[in-house]
Amino acid sequence: MGLRLWRSVQVLGMMLLGGLLLGCDQVSAPSATEAPMVADLEVTPDSVKAEALPPDLVTDSTVRMPLRVSVQAWDPDGEIERVSFTVEPVANPQGAAFGQLQATEEGRYAREFAVPVPATRDAVYALRVFAVDSDSLASNQAIGRVRFVPASE
């Protein structure tokens, strides 16, 4: 009778242990995180005329179009890891320039840079800015435009 009792205890113990293990397979949901945001994009100037540029920015076939970009970026539940930008022609989207903005004051990010563009093509360029936070979440996009006007002949 002792052997049967021992086997019953073993079976009962295994059932209890199995029930405990099965009950522990639930993982708590990750905490909700919010994506960062960008707003209040400023692109200056909004139009660049080749004939008004200093000679060191103009070559026979290329012009380095100077821009200053500034944007407000914030993350409601974390920190901004980086604020990036791309510049490309609206009519033929292909990257003309890309990079990152630097933190300035009170949540603003800015940078001055020059974008190489064809010297003879009148074109509008789209500038897109977005942020990425410490959770690797991407923000909305702020979009601005700048026009390049070639020199008249």
What pLDDT does 152 receive? 81
The residue among 150 and 96 whose pLDDT is bigger is: 150
Beta-ladder partners of 132: 82, 138
For position 69, what pLDDT does the model report? 97
Q: Is residue 134 part of a domain?
A: yes
Q: Does a structural domain hold residue 31?
A: no
Percent with pLDDT over 70 in the chain: 78
Which two three-digit tokens encode residue 128? 């897109």
Q: What total number of domains does the chain contain?
A: 1
Residue 84 in contact with residue 101, Cβ under 8 Å?
Answer: yes
Contact 64, 57 (CB under 8 A): yes
pLDDT at residue 31, rounded to an integer: 57
pLDDT, greater one: 8 or 85: 85
3-state secondary structure (DSSP) of residue 104:
coil
Q: Of 144, 117, 127, whose CA–CA distance to 53 is shortest?
A: 117
**CATH code, domain carrying 51:** 2.60.40.2550
Which pLDDT band holds residue 29 (cuts at 50, 70, 90)?
very low
Is the pLDDT score of 98 beyond 50?
yes
pLDDT score at 147: 96
Cα-based distances in Å from 108 to 5, 42, 43, 82, 101? 75, 11, 13, 12, 9
CA-based radius of gyration for the chain: 29
User: What is the chain's percent helix, strand, coil content, to nearest 5?
Assistant: 20, 50, 35
Q: pTM (2 decimals)?
A: 0.74
Any domain includes 32: no
The parent domain of residue 112 ranges over: 37-149
pLDDT computed for residue 63 by the predictor:
93
Predicted confidence (pLDDT) per residue in 122-138, tens digit = 999 999 999 999 999 99
Give me the chain's average pLDDT, please.
84
User: What was the pLDDT predicted at 19?
Assistant: 52
